[in-house]
Amino acid sequence: MEKKPFDQLGLSPDILKAVEKMGFEEASPIQTAVIPVALTGKDVIGMSSTGSGKTAAFAIPAIERADPKTRAVQVLILCPTRELAVQVAEETGKLASFKRGIAGVPIYGGQSYERQFRALHQGVQIVIGTPGRVMDHMERGTLKLDALKIVILDEADRMLDMGFREDIEKILTSVPETRQMLFFSATMPRAIQDLIGRYAKDPAWIKIESVAQNRPQVEQTYFEVDRRSKIEALTRLIDVNDFRYGIIFCSTKIMVDELDEHLHARGYATDRLHGDISQSQRDRVMAKFRERKFEFLVATDVAARGLDVDDLEVVFNFDLPNDAEDYTHRIGRTGRAGRKGLAFTFVSGQEIYKLQSMVRWARLDIRRGRIPSLDEVEEARTSVFFDKIRATLDDKKFKPHDRMIDRLLDQGYVSTDICSALIHLLQGGAPGNPTAATPAAAAPVTDAAPAPASPARAEAKSAPAWVKSRAVPKPAADDASPSAEPVDGEGEPEVRPRTGRDPGKATLFFNVGRKELVTPADLVGKIAGVTRLPAGVVGAIDIHQRHSLVDVDAHEADFILKKIAGIRIKGVTIAPARATDGAPR
Ligand code: ADP
Ligand code: MG
C-alpha cells in the first residue's frame, strides 16, 4: 500500500500548487498507483474502496493531459448521479484552479439545457455528466466529442446498476478510437468485465485492497432485531448514545417515508431523501442537512449517494444493504477526516446469513451488539436531566421558592421527598400516580411486539370512523373559568362512569383537550403512530376542556403510557397517566 508525495508523480507545478492548497499532504495509494500510468496515455482499470481518493486519481492526469489552447471537449467524465457529477466537477475545478485556460462543466438532468448549452458553447475541455444527459447533448449536437482524448467512467458498476448500460455503450462507440479510457469501479461483476473487454485497450489493472488503515475508521456493530421492533431499537440506540447527527438507511422509499414520519412524531428532527423526491427538494434537504438544521437524514442508497457530508456521528443500516459494496459506501460517510465513526446495522431473521457472507467477502470487522434496555435508556435520560439540574444550580439563575418549601418542611415532609416529588412531576408523572414515571412498571417493550404498522397508521391518519367520540362541542363561555379543575368539575354530559364498564380497557388521562382543539383523530393518530400498535387498541375517547380520557386495551396501557410520555400533541408536551380507578370524571 504505497503512498508517495505528489511531487514524485511527475506532475506540473500548477497541479502541485493545487493539491497543496487543497491540503492533500501525500497521494493516496490509488493516486500513487494510477496517476503515473494514466499520464502515459495508457488505459487504466482502477479499483479501490470508497473514500480512497479516486476522483483525484483520474482528474489529475485528465487535467494534465488536456490542452488549454484547444477549446474543444477533450475529457469526458461519466458519473452515475447528478450529485456525484457535481462533486466530481467541484474537485476537478479545484485541482485545475492554477491551470490557466482549462475549464470544465457538469451536465446533468434536472438542470436547464439552456445553461448547459451556453457553457458548452463557450468551449470547455472537461465535461462531467450523467450518461443520460450526455447522450441527450450528443444527440442534439450540442456536445461534440471529435476531439475527445480521455473518457472516464467513475463508479462504473453503479452506473450499470442504474440502467445506464445502453447509454454508456452508445457514448463509447461514438467517441474517437484513439481515446484513453480510465475506468473506476468498486466491484467487477461480469457486465463490467464485458464492457472492459470490448472498450479498453490492453489496460493496466490497478487494485488497491482495502485494508483497515485505508478504510474509514468506523466502529461497526450489528443487532439482531425482530422486524417489528426495529424502530424501538433505533430510538433506544439514539437516546442512549445521545446522537445528534446521522444518516439512517432504508431499502425502500416506503420505508423511508414511514420511518421519517414515525421519528418525527416522536420528536426527532428528521428529513428524508429518496428517488421520488424532486431534485430541487432534494437539494434543499441536503443543504439543510449539511448545515445541521436537522438531526437525522432518512434515505435510500441511491438518494444519499454522492451526498458529501463528513462528521456524521453515526450511520444506521435500518435495513441491511444489498451487498458489501453498498455497506462500505454507507458506512464510509461516518468517521471521515480521521475521526472515529459508528455504524449500527440491524438484521432480522435470515438476514444474519447475508450479513455473514458480507463479512467474509469484504472482511468486515463488525461486532454483535445488544439493544439497550428501557432502564438503560431511562438512565441515560436521567443523567442528561441530572446535568441540567446541576447546571441550573451552578448558574444560580432561578427564582427562590423558599416560602413554599418552608411550608412543606413545616408540614413534616423531608427535603429529599419534596425534590423527588418535583422530579416525578417534571418527568411527566401525574399526582397520585407513580406508575407513569416508574420504568420498572412498564411493559418490557421488546416483548410487547407492536403489530404490523402500515395499515393501522394509514387508518389512524384519516380520522377513523370507528372512533366513538363523545366529545360535545362546548360554548366558548367555558373558557372563562381558567381555574377549572383539570380532571373533573366540568359537569359535562359526556362525563359518565366508565371504570368497570369494559374490563378489557384501561382509561388514560392526557393533558390536552378542547382548549387545544384536539380531536379524537389526533389522539388515535398519535397513539397508533408512536406505538405502532393497530389503531384498534384505542376505544372510546372523551375530550374535555383541558384534558382527554382515552380508553385503550388494558394490556397495552403501560406500553402506551411509556411511549406517549413526552411527545407533543397540539403543542402540548404530553404527561399521560392512568386515570385513577373510580376517580370522578
Ligand atoms: P472515492 O471516489 O475513492 O470514494 P474521493 O475522491 O471522493 O474518494 O475522495 C474522498 C475524500 O478524500 C475527498 O474529500 C477528497 O477531497 C479527499 N482526498 C482525496 N485525495 C486526498 C489526499 N491525497 N489527501 C487527503 N485527502 C484526499
Ligand atoms: Mg468517487
pLDDT band at 278 (very low <50, low <70, confident <90, very high): confident
The pLDDT of residue 502: 66
Instruction: Give the mean pLDDT of 81-107.
Output: 93
Atom of ligand 1 nearest to the CA of 332: 4
Residue of 28, 30, 34 to mutate, ligand 1, most atoms within 8 A of C-beta: 28
The domain boundary, picked from 436, 460, 484, lies at 460
Query: Rounded CA gap, 164 and 172, in Å?
Result: 12
Indicate the DSSP class of residue 174: T
Q: Please give, one letter per residue, the 3-state secondary structure of 283-319.
A: HHHHHHHHCCCCCEEEECHHHHCCCCCCCECEEEECC
203 and 163 in a common domain = yes
First to last CA, the chain: 75
pTM flag (> 0.75): no
Return the percent helix, strand and coil in the chain, to nearest 5: 45, 15, 40
**Structural domain includes residue 583:** no
Average pLDDT, stretch 302-318?
A: 81
Distance, CA of 17 to CA of 144 (rounded, Å): 31
Query: In this structure, are 394 and 519 located in the same domain?
Result: no
Residues 389, 488: one domain?
A: no
What's the pLDDT score for residue 427?
64
Phi, psi of 138 (to 5 degrees): -65, -40
Q: Please tell me whether residues 369 and 444 are part of one structural domain.
A: yes
Domain annotation covers residue 492: yes
**CB of 24 closer than 6 angstroms to any ligand 1 atom:** yes
Ligand 1 neighbourhood includes 27 CB (under 6 angstroms): yes
HSE-CB at 144 with a 13 A cutoff on CA atoms is: 8
Query: Of 208, 230, 256, which marks where a domain is finished?
Result: 208
pLDDT score at 41: 96
Bigger pLDDT: 530 or 129? Answer: 129
Which amino acid, one-letter code, is at 221? T
In the numeric block, the cell 455473514 is attached to 356
Inside any domain, residue 1? no
Asked if residue 182 and residue 292 are part of one domain, the reply reads no
Tell me, yes or no, whether 585 lies in a domain.
Answer: no
Continuous segment of H or E residues that includes residue 154: none
**Are residues 288 and 303 both part of a single domain?**
yes
State which ligand 1 atom lies nearest to the alpha carbon of 155.
2
38 within 8 A of 216, measured Cβ to Cβ: no
What pLDDT sits at residue 199? 95
Grid cell 500548477 — which residue?
Answer: 14
**Same domain assignment for residues 38 and 157:** yes
Question: Which residue has the least CA distance to atom 23 on ligand 1?
Answer: 27
pLDDT at 430: 60
The domain boundary, picked from 148, 177, 208, lies at: 208
pLDDT of residue 1: 60
Q: Distance between alpha carbon 190 and the CA centroid of its chain, in Å? A: 32
CA of 56 to the centre of ligand 1 (A): 7
pLDDT of 451 higher than 70? no
Share of the chain above pLDDT 90, in %: 39
Q: What is the CATH number of the domain that holds 556?
A: 3.30.70.330
Note whether 295 and 244 are within 8 A (CB): yes
Question: Cβ contacts of residue 499 below 8 Å, gap of 6+?
Answer: 507, 581, 582, 583
Cβ(580)–Cβ(573) below 8 Å: no
CA of 184 relative to ligand 2 center, distance in Å = 9
Provide the domain limits for residue 536: 462-578
456 and 484 belong to one structural domain: no
Q: Residue 352 falls within a domain, yes or no?
A: yes
pLDDT digits (tens, 9 = 90+) for 114-131: 888 888 888 899 999 999
Q: Residue 288 pLDDT > 70, yes or no?
A: yes
Which pLDDT does position 187 carry in this prediction? 80
Assess whether 434 and 505 both reside in one domain: no
Contacts of 250 by beta carbon, 8 Å cutoff, 6+ apart: 256, 259, 298, 299, 300, 318, 319
CA–CA separation, 585 vs 575, rounded Å?
A: 18
Decide if pLDDT at 461 tops 60.
Answer: no
The rounded distance, in Å, linking the Cα atoms of 535 and 463 is: 11
**Number of folded domains in the chain?**
3
Atom of ligand 1 nearest to the CA of 48: 3
Residue 204 lies in a domain: yes
**Backbone φ and ψ of 182, nearest 5°:** -115, 130
What pLDDT score does 322 carry?
82
202-218: per-residue pLDDT in tens? Answer: 999 999 876 544 455 78
- If asked whether residues 13 and 57 sit together in one domain, one would say yes
* 279: in domain: yes
Closest to 168 (Cα-Cα) out of 178, 286, 158: 158
Q: What is the pLDDT of residue 544?
A: 79
Task: Indicate if ligand 1 lies below 6 Å from the C-beta of 580.
Answer: no
Residue 283 to residues 82, 159, 272, 277, 304, Cα–Cα distance (Å): 11, 21, 11, 10, 11
The string of DSSP codes covering 353-375 is HHHHHHHHHHT--EEE--PPPHH
Q: Is 52 in the pocket of ligand 1 (CB under 6 A)?
A: yes
CA 8 to ligand 1 centroid distance, Å: 18
Model pLDDT, residue 316: 97
Nearest protein CA to atom 19 of ligand 1, as residue? 53
C-alpha 303 chain-centroid distance: 11
584 falls within a domain: no
Q: β-pairing, 505-510 with 577-578?
A: antiparallel
Q: Is the pLDDT of residue 509 over 90?
A: no
Q: Cβ distance 538 to 456 under 8 Å?
A: no
* Same structural domain, 264 and 237: yes
Which residues are 510's β-sheet partners? 548
> What backbone phi and psi angles, to 5 degrees, belong to 238?
-65, -45
CB distance 51 to ligand 1 below 6 Å: yes
pLDDT at residue 437 greater than cutoff 50: no
Q: How far apart are CA 467 and CA 527, in angstroms?
A: 13
Please tell me the number of the ligand nearest to residue 154's CA.
2
Residues 261 and 196 in one domain: no
What is the distance, to the nearest Å, from the Cα of residue 34 to the centroid of all Cα atoms in its chain? Answer: 34
Q: Which three cell numbers stand for residue 1?
A: 500500500
Residue 431 sits in a domain of what CATH number?
3.40.50.300
> Can you tell me the distance from the alpha carbon of 235 to that of 241, in angstroms, rounded to the nearest whole number?
10
**Ligand 1 pocket test target in 3, 15, 52, 83 with most atoms within 8 Å of CB:** 52
- Which residue has a Cα nearest atom 9 of ligand 1? 53
Model pLDDT, residue 34: 97
Residues 6+ apart with CB under 8 A from 435: 441, 558, 561, 577, 578
